[in-house]
Chain A
Amino acid sequence: MANGYDVVVIGSGAGGAPIANMLVKAGKNVLMLEKGPLFRTQDQTSGLSDFKRDELFATGPEKIIRVERAANWGESYYSSHVEPDLNDEPHIYRDADGRDRATLEGYTAQCVGGGTQLYGGVSLRFSPLDFRLKSFNENGAALRNDPNGDVKREARDWPITYDDLEPYYTLAEELVGISGTRQNQLKPASREVYQKPLPPNPISRFVEIGMDALGMPRYRTPLAVITEDHPPSGRTYPGGEAAKTGYVNRYGCPLGLKSSTWVALLAPIYGRPNFELRPNCTVTHLECDSSGNVTKVVYLDAGGQRREVSGKLIVVACSAIESVRLLKLSALESAEFDRRINQNDLLGKYFLTHCFGGAEAIMPGRYDKSLSVDSDWATDACATPDFIRSNGLWAGGAIYNNTSDQCLPISLARTHGSQDIDTIWKAFVEDTSLTGERLASFFDENFGTRLSVSFMANQVPLKTNRIELHPTVKDKWGRNVAYIIKEWHPHDQYLMDVFAEQCARVLRFGGDGGRGNYPVFEKGGVYQAENGLARIANHILGGARFGTDRNDSVLDPNCRAWEFDNLYVTDGSFMPTSGGANPTLTIQANSFRVADHLLSRL
């Protein structure tokens, strides 16, 4: 089938894998190109997985930033074994002081499965309201901290409704393999496909008490972790609490119990004659003809040799920042591509992440937090129209607890005082008082005692928040790297304060049996962090939003680039608003929806 592909999919994560899965099963010829390696589970090799339960895999040895003219030149960084190297392919962001800094933020993971190999697996749906925030806000009262009416002006309805996406949510949950509970979710499901969740970690009891005391209807956080045999992917569950390892967030699962797109959607079709997966291949650009057909996908193979391939339909799903970058780099290569992809000025604009943050406390007692998956309890109490309107907000979000964070000794130390990948180790090494007896006390106080509750909420879309090509910084192939320019709207800051307080209340009421006075020592939104402008939570969305108006969007409702006949973009970049929950399941559901559309064309 050399060069006779029906579909070429670029990227094997949440945006690309569902399409390959559906189209291959329908008998179409699919080629998938993935920049990163194909890291396999134990069962897929002669015995050992490329993923390990090893804290130094998540945060590796020190390296030093050598990106020319970056303001953080000379600073240390510690990337995971599947993150790109910062000196080879940095993301650059413009900091509050106007200076450019290199960051690991905005990369998920470069390997087959993409970010779904490393994520915590929180697989929430967006609420029906998340799809129509423009309509919802049109007739509402004035919003807090939005004197110029930016929020109402910039809010957009999605071109599809929750009901349009619902069957695909269910399909995604079924094929990916999700465990959780449904009751008390604000997100109706047509069919029950969840596997049974594992028993919660005992420390999560405080979250139960807190949410109950506050009247927040709770449910077991849906996680992309199987807890039973999973026939659609052929995975078997070893039994007991095998999935609760503590090596969860930022670790690939050597047993394949975490439902990455590799084990759930790609491994089941791997080996079929109509599916070809080429890992370690970096797409450099796309070429098109004068009638708007992408005719060539140009890539560098595992040895760095230039290759070309073509297909009837082309799907770009490299994660929002890298997809926008690929399209912009393609526009640099040819005037025709440029004219078509930049038919309006929106490519890269309205880049989004989430408003996120939370609260943390040291709970009474001590618990073995290493016996955990990523999260136990979630609530939609802050996604109801009542909650949103009564707080003068434009949109809602989800609240859930984290169970596995800081559950291992090195991660406790290296995230002491910092939660993100750019500043890891920083506070611990500077806090030289933590030594000997004091270090013993630090562990006594913090190991197995800390509990955090997080929120994930919609960020206001702003045209000025955008992805560009950096004018001077080049990757190891000589291609301009992505340049992230974004800031938080005052309403975002207000929203984060409101949500952080809700998270804190859960702990305050949970910690003292419902009286509401338990001390909470950390609380806040990400905008308050020292590097708050860089922080992305690995949720990279927008920049190529879809819509019904070609003048107001980059993609049509089927995620096809308006001026192209066969070019689709299906990672998180299609989102006009970022939703009030972790985005992966919605990206997957949308890709299943687009797959149906692609099938109708083949």
Chain B
Amino acid sequence: MGTALAPAVRRAFESGTVVQKDDTYVLNHTTKYLARANVDERHNYGQFPQGDPRARICESWRFPVIDGYYDPADPEESYHWNEVTFVYRTFDGTQPGSVSVVGTFAPLYQEIPLRRIGGTPYFAVTVMVPKGEVHTYRYVVDGRQELDPINPQTAVADNGRVWSRFFTHGCTQRLSFEPWEMDILERLTDHILPFRTVEGQRFLDRYYQQLDRAARESQYPIAYRFDESVGIANFIDKLVAREENHRLIDYKICLEIINRLLRMRNPFVEPRLMSKEMYIELYNQMASGNVPGWDYGAYQNPRFFLQLLRRHAITGAFAHPKYGGNAAASGWVYLSERYRDPETGATLFDWRRVQEPPLGTDQQYRG
């Protein structure tokens, strides 16, 4: 845990440093989700066990709040960092005396106190954490350690102890899937997106070759696995770890079915090495809803899974790279290179113009 996969972060700042934010900032990112009187579980789409208090809360995945960081004295270095705002509250009407957070993001597991947000049940503190990292933490409430009652993400440590977990922007550490699942996911999404068409492949090869190491680090400081086409599998790995955790189960069941099914169809080749035609055939069968060998008892509707995968794939290809897909902005670059003015050669999708440096070139917008 806590391993920085990002290109070497220049540690001009220290992880865990407290950033002063005003109460309004905290409440702006808290009230809508946590202030409420309902006791019904209106936010459970299957991602929570029954009775989990998170099911009453809207978008509990938003906590702790991960946001950009900006220091006017060092904008360039700032871009490598996130602000992480921990918010604690109880839902049983009790009011703790003191709350602090202890976790892998701070030196020597030091306890960082949360402050009471005036006149509210919320406690909060904002700290700096580098991008591209995964961390675990616990709250210390009146001297006793507990898991975050809001954030649903957890991780089990080597000693079997459960911790709350968060990850920062551009994270590439696997959180949801096994390597074999990632492999199949990549092959499936390859077929959905245009990047593995002949032209698309040519583009990717050229694009990744021309990015030398220095460019990767300066222009695309968020880490990527460059052997991936456009980071779609990584995007989905993060999405189902957090925002769409209710869809993790769909992936787990269907990837298992697909793995078994592909091995049945060709026992001699690993699914990740199987021919494009095998995947196209599977894709078409899934689209029709009729997949020979599919375990309908385990998952009723292969077409539904395909639809889910398509939405996630296209989102991952073209969403801001901070979400872990669109690696090195390759999705955007694909479009900006493909579409050019036939006369001047100028791009007809000038995304860089309005995105923040160093990703883009906008001199005002900071991301």
Check A69 for interface membership: any CB of B closer than 8 A. Answer: no
Check A387 for interface membership: any CB of B closer than 8 A. Answer: no
One of A49-57, A378-386, A540-548 contacting the partner: A49-57
Q: Which residues of A contact B70 (CB under 8 A)?
A: 46-48
Query: Across the interface, do A410 and B355 meet the contact criterion of CB distance under 8 Å?
Result: no
One of B9-17, B31-39, B218-226 contacting the partner: B31-39
Check B323 for interface membership: any CB of A closer than 8 A. Answer: yes
Query: Across the interface, do A439 and B319 meet the contact criterion of CB distance under 8 Å?
Result: no
Query: Across the interface, do B314 and A428 meet the contact criterion of CB distance under 8 Å?
Result: yes
Q: Among residues 281 to 340 in chain B, which have CB atoms less than 8 Å away from a CB atom of chain A?
A: 283, 287, 303, 306-308, 310-311, 314-315, 317-320, 323, 331-332, 335, 338-339
Check B42 for interface membership: any CB of A closer than 8 A. Answer: yes
Check A429 for interface membership: any CB of B closer than 8 A. Answer: yes
Check B209 for interface membership: any CB of A closer than 8 A. Answer: no
Query: Across the interface, do A61 and B320 meet the contact criterion of CB distance under 8 Å?
Result: no
Query: Across the interface, do A370 and B349 meet the contact criterion of CB distance under 8 Å?
Result: yes
From known contacts A280-B28, A440-B194, infer whether A62 and B244 are also in contact, taking CB-CB under 8 Å.
yes
Query: Across the interface, do A66 and B42 meet the contact criterion of CB distance under 8 Å?
Result: yes
**How many angstroms between the C-alpha atoms of A61 and B208 in the bound complex?**
29
Other-chain contact of B194, A38, A39, A87, A443 (Cβ < 8 Å): A443
Q: How many CB-defined contacts (below 8 Å) exist between A and B?
A: 201
- Cβ proximity bits B326-367 to A, threshold 8 Å, 1 near / 0 not: 000001100100110100000111110111000000011111
Q: How far is the CB of B322 from chain A (nearest CB, A)?
A: 8
Check A332 for interface membership: any CB of B closer than 8 A. Answer: no
Query: Across the interface, do B120 and A245 meet the contact criterion of CB distance under 8 Å?
Result: no
Check B122 for interface membership: any CB of A closer than 8 A. Answer: yes
**How many angstroms between the C-alpha atoms of A410 and B58 in the bound complex?**
25
One of A299-307, A498-506, A562-570 contacting the partner: A299-307
**How many angstroms between the C-alpha atoms of A238 and B364 in the bound complex?**
8
**How many angstroms between the C-alpha atoms of A67 and B42 in the bound complex?**
7
Query: Across the interface, do A61 and B354 meet the contact criterion of CB distance under 8 Å?
Result: no
**How many angstroms between the C-alpha atoms of A37 and B315 in the bound complex?**
27
Q: Which residues of A contact B318 (CB under 8 A)?
A: 55, 408-410, 413
Number of interface residues of B (CB under 8 A): 79
**How many angstroms between the C-alpha atoms of A370 and B318 in the bound complex?**
14
Q: How far is the CB of A422 from chain B (nearest CB, A)?
A: 16
One of A313-321, A430-438, A531-539 contacting the partner: A430-438
- Cβ proximity bits A26-65 to B, threshold 8 Å, 1 near / 0 not: 0000000000111100100111111011111000111110
**How many angstroms between the C-alpha atoms of A550 and B200 in the bound complex?**
68
Other-chain contact of B58, A88, A279, A428, A436 (Cβ < 8 Å): A88
Chain B residue at smallest Cβ distance from A52: B367
Query: Across the interface, do B366 and A47 meet the contact criterion of CB distance under 8 Å?
Result: yes
- Cβ proximity bits A270-308 to B, threshold 8 Å, 1 near / 0 not: 000000000110000000000000000000111111000
Query: Across the interface, do B27 and A476 meet the contact criterion of CB distance under 8 Å?
Result: no
Q: Which residues of B contact A53 (CB under 8 A)?
A: 354-355, 365
- Cβ proximity bits B199-220 to A, threshold 8 Å, 1 near / 0 not: 1100000000000000000000
Check B49 for interface membership: any CB of A closer than 8 A. Answer: no
Query: Across the interface, do A409 and B335 meet the contact criterion of CB distance under 8 Å?
Result: yes
Q: How far is the CB of B16 from chain A (nearest CB, A)?
A: 19
Check A110 for interface membership: any CB of B closer than 8 A. Answer: yes
From known contacts A304-B37, A367-B348, A478-B38, infer whether A87 and B43 are also in contact, taking CB-CB under 8 Å.
yes
Check A392 for interface membership: any CB of B closer than 8 A. Answer: no
Other-chain contact of B366, A36, A42, A478 (Cβ < 8 Å): A42
Q: Which residues of B contact A238 (CB under 8 A)?
A: 363-364
**Can you name 20 extra interface pairs (CB under 8 A) apart from A280-B32, A366-B341, A436-B191?**
A37-B27, A39-B28, A45-B25, A48-B67, A55-B319, A87-B58, A366-B348, A368-B349, A371-B350, A371-B353, A409-B317, A409-B318, A410-B314, A410-B315, A429-B307, A436-B194, A436-B196, A439-B314, A447-B339, A477-B37
7 contacts between A and B (CB under 8 A): A47-B71, A48-B366, A55-B320, A279-B24, A279-B27, A304-B31, A409-B314
Binding site for B on A (CB under 8 A): 36-39, 42, 45-50, 52-56, 60-64, 66-67, 84-85, 87-88, 110, 238, 242, 245-247, 254-255, 279-280, 300-305, 366-368, 370-371, 408-410, 413-414, 425, 428-430, 432-437, 439-440, 443-444, 447-448, 474, 476-478
